[in-house]
Each structure stands twice: as structure tokens, then as C-alpha cells.
Structure 1
């Protein structure tokens, strides 16, 4: 049963890449505030673990193992969501990968990065639009990146995909505004997740995080919960007059 007294009570929220990091934090926070959460992740066991955590705390959740980069799996997942739900109130397109560094791209890794970071959120939104239209106050949230609004020398492909996400979101927000469906993007800065830690050399994680913190005006690297709380705001009626916005959550780094 949904608890209608909570911020997201009675709402159904779908979050991609929900097994760890920012996605996990968002899923747990959405559930704590009353949402039924649909978790999707390539790590099926991880997604189930998060769903079990939510259920163990009295929340409502279901887990789907799906490689969103695989069109067949993506379509099967969409079919499952459509068959299991009449309404999606919140679609949080969070999944993404860093992709190739500098100019080390080829057709395969370029397309993989563009597929997961740009095609998947656009396609999911398109295909789940009928369910979003059944909501009284639908919110589509895209996880972009500060790399989508400023250049990052080491990650030109990633930056290109996140710039694409932002422009898709802005156009979508204009397209759907007459229907009352909102679309906004969160741009995380450096955030302490397993994915970020994996990018550093073994034994140099703490030093690397400390070095990044010195470039951030607030003096620390972000935590997954910092991103999740902004996602909760965008999912809720507290942001009901916001659409088409790009919100940096980066400790002031882009300032």
C-alpha cells in the first residue's frame, strides 16, 4: 500500500542504474518517501539487493536485471513495465557510462557511450510516455553531468553525450509542457561512487578524491545522497513550477 501522506505517496517511480551509487541512493530515498520504485540495472543481483533493502524497511520496490545497451533487453524491459503498470509518475533516466578517454574512441566505444547515455533515456521516455500521460503530475528526470555544460579535456565523448541529454531534455520540456509533464536535468559534479573510485589507480583513491575536493568551492566531493535529494525535489510537487531546468549539484565547481 502506498502511504499518501508522504511526499511521493501513491506514486510509481522508475530509476535506471539503481543498484549502486547515486541510483541506489535515489531509489532508497524515493521509497522512504512513499513511492513504489521500479529498479533497473545491468547488475540484476545488485538491483534485487536494493529492492530487498527497501522491502525490509517497509517500502515498495521491484527489481529488473536489464542491460539497457542491448536493444532486445531494453524492449523486453519496456514490455514488462507496460504490462505491470498503468502509470509512471517519475521516470529517472540515470544510467550512464564514462566511455573512452581523450581521443581513444572508435566506432564501438563511441556508439556504446552514446547508446547508454543518450539513446536509452530518449527511447525510454518515448516508449513510456503513455504511462507518464496517465499520471496527474509526471516528472522526467535526466542525470546529465557538469561535463555536459563545460568542456572536460579527458572525456570528450562523455561530454558530447551529456550535452545531447541536456538539449533533448530542454526540447522535451517544451514539447510536453502543454500536457503538464515536466522534464529537468541534474548535473552532478565529482561524486564519491564505486564507479568513480574504480577510475583511480589502486592505492591512490583517497589522494585522488582529496585532490578533486581542493577544486570544489564547498571543499568536498559529493556524496550519492547529495544527488538523490535533488532528484527527490524534482520528483515531487515541490518543483511543480519547474521544467526545462539544468541543475548543477557540484559544490560550486562550475561557478
Structure 2
């Protein structure tokens, strides 16, 4: 085993990933399992969760699947009860779940609250509830999915941008609070990424531009793949980032360096 293999290894670690049955979450679940983690997959999609679990098992990985609507408080509480009962230790908490929410100012009380619940309340609540499990780890890492929209203004996604800005500030505060205990917290800020969720936003009109149009705004000239996000998540989950905490890593092809946003 090389030094690189050692620092990126997750052997024996338990990693919980929300929204792990598609897109970036699924890519991270597969990669974490390949690197030796026991992956706890949580997703609202029953069939996709089963498929993700089967894929990881077929590849020789260790995995368990939980079908849960994290936006439902009773379901969230029951899920966290199951995780706490089944795992005394969580080494990696990757809060990836989120929705694009309403377009621009076209929000009402229900759509605004639904976006805030899934994008802000759920990751903060999970962090709070699973803190005993994280404290029992010798190498705990909390990873949040933020967004370039949490760093720069996005006029078409006002509510989404607000939630991702909130996630970034929560992450920074958690990182400072837990640093004396050796628990790290960081965030990934993805740019445009070719996922089913992104394509669904096109179809619903939340984002009124094509992948090609978005790629034209990116200095590197293309959108990202889910696997490219997963490799950054692996870095943050592993000992390769053991001196990194309180950091937002934009994975955006250069967009936040000054290019036009989505």
C-alpha cells in the first residue's frame, strides 16, 4: 500500500450519506465503499436505494440502506433513532440532501419552508442528534453539501442560495465549536453538475438554461460529473484532510473565481 492509499483509506469507518441513491450522493457512496467504509445510504427513493445497495454489495462493499423522507420530522426522528441504535460510532457524516426550491421570487410559505427544512434544518438536526456517535470516533469528519449559490448571488435561485449560505455559516460555526474535540467540519460547494436532479430542474423550469448554456459560463468549459464531487468528498472524509476544518471547497470549474453564476 502506498502513502496515497493510506491517507485516502476509509477502512473500518462508518459513513452516513444522505441523498445517497443518485447523483453526487451515490457516487460518494460507491467511492467510500471502495475505499473500505461501511456506508449508510439514506434516500427517499425506495427503488434507487435498493439499486445503490445492490451495486455496492456486488462490488464487495459494506453497505446498508434506509428509505426515509428526511423532510418529514417523524420519519427523520425514527431514522436517527435507528442509526443511533445500530451504530455507536459514526466516523463520517455527509449531509448531502437538498432541493432547488422555487424559482426567483416565486415562493410562498409552503415552498419556502420546504426548502429551508430540507436544506437547513435536516443537516443541522442530523449533526446535533449524531454528535454522540461522532464524538466516539477517532477521526470524525462532517461534510456538508453547500453550493456556489451560497457564495455568490444567483437571481434565479434566491431561496436555495439563502439556504446554502446558511449551511456554510453553520458549518464554520460547528467547525470552531468542535475543533477542540478533534471533530472536523467542511463543505463542498458544487457548481453545475450533470445529475438527474439538475436535469429535473431544467424540466420544471426552476433553471431555464441547458447544460450547454451553463457549461459556457464555466472557465473550464464544462459542467462537472458526480464522480468529481465524490473525490473531493473522499478527501474531506479521509486522513488526507486531517488538518482541514471550517473550509468551503468550491468544485465549480472556476465559477467563483469571477465567472458568471448559473
TMscore range, shorter length = over 0.9
Whether the 8 Å contact between 1:45 and 1:65 is mirrored in structure 2 is no
Residue in structure 2 matched with residue 239 of structure 1 by the alignment:
241
How many residue pairs end up in the alignment? 249
SS at match of 1:200: helix
Deviation at 1:254, TM superposition (A): 1.0
SS at match of 1:187: strand
Q: Deviations over 1:98-128 (max 9, x none)?
A: 0010111111110100000000000000000
User: After TM superposition, which residue ranges in structure 1, 4 or more long, deviate above 3 angstroms?
Assistant: none
Deviation at 1:129, TM superposition (A): 0.3
Deviation at 1:72, TM superposition (A): 0.2
Residue in structure 2 matched with residue 198 of structure 1 by the alignment:
200
SS at match of 1:222: coil
Q: Deviations over 1:225-244 (max 9, x none)?
A: 01000000000000000000
Residue in structure 1 matched with residue 49 of structure 2 by the alignment:
47
Q: Distance in 2 between matches of 1:105 and 1:74?
A: 25
SS at match of 2:256: coil
Deviation at 1:48, TM superposition (A): 1.6
Q: Distance in 2 between matches of 1:87 and 1:44?
A: 26
SS at match of 2:162: helix
Residue in structure 2 matched with residue 96 of structure 1 by the alignment:
98
Residue in structure 2 matched with residue 58 of structure 1 by the alignment:
60
Residue in structure 2 matched with residue 31 of structure 1 by the alignment:
33
Whether the 8 Å contact between 1:100 and 1:155 is mirrored in structure 2 is yes
SS at match of 1:28: helix
Deviation at 1:39, TM superposition (A): 0.3
Deviation at 1:201, TM superposition (A): 4.2
Report the CA distance shift for 1:201/1:110 in structure 2 as closer, same or farther (over 3 A).
closer
Deviation at 1:159, TM superposition (A): 0.3
Residue in structure 1 matched with residue 18 of structure 2 by the alignment:
16
Q: Distance in 2 between matches of 1:73 and 1:254?
A: 36
Deviation at 1:200, TM superposition (A): 2.0
Q: Distance in 1 between matches of 2:123 and 2:228?
A: 22
**Alignment root-mean-square deviation, CA:** 1.5
For residue 221 of structure 1, the aligned residue among 204, 220, 223 is 223
Give me the TM-score of the superposition, normalised by structure 2.
Answer: 0.93
Query: Any gaps of 5 or more consecutive residues in structure 2?
Result: 258-262
SS at match of 1:170: helix
For residue 175 of structure 1, the aligned residue among 174, 177, 182 is 177
Give me the TM-score of the superposition, normalised by structure 1.
Answer: 0.95
SS at match of 2:39: strand
Whether the 8 Å contact between 1:44 and 1:63 is mirrored in structure 2 is no
Deviation at 1:211, TM superposition (A): 1.3
Report the CA distance shift for 1:46/1:201 in structure 2 as closer, same or farther (over 3 A).
closer
Query: Any gaps of 5 or more consecutive residues in structure 1?
Result: none
Q: Distance in 1 between matches of 2:82 and 2:202?
A: 37
Q: Deviations over 1:14-63 (max 9, x none)?
A: 00000100000000000000000000001122112101100011000000
SS at match of 2:41: strand
For residue 112 of structure 2, the aligned residue among 101, 107, 110 is 110
Q: Distance in 1 between matches of 2:240 and 2:20?
A: 23
SS at match of 1:254: helix
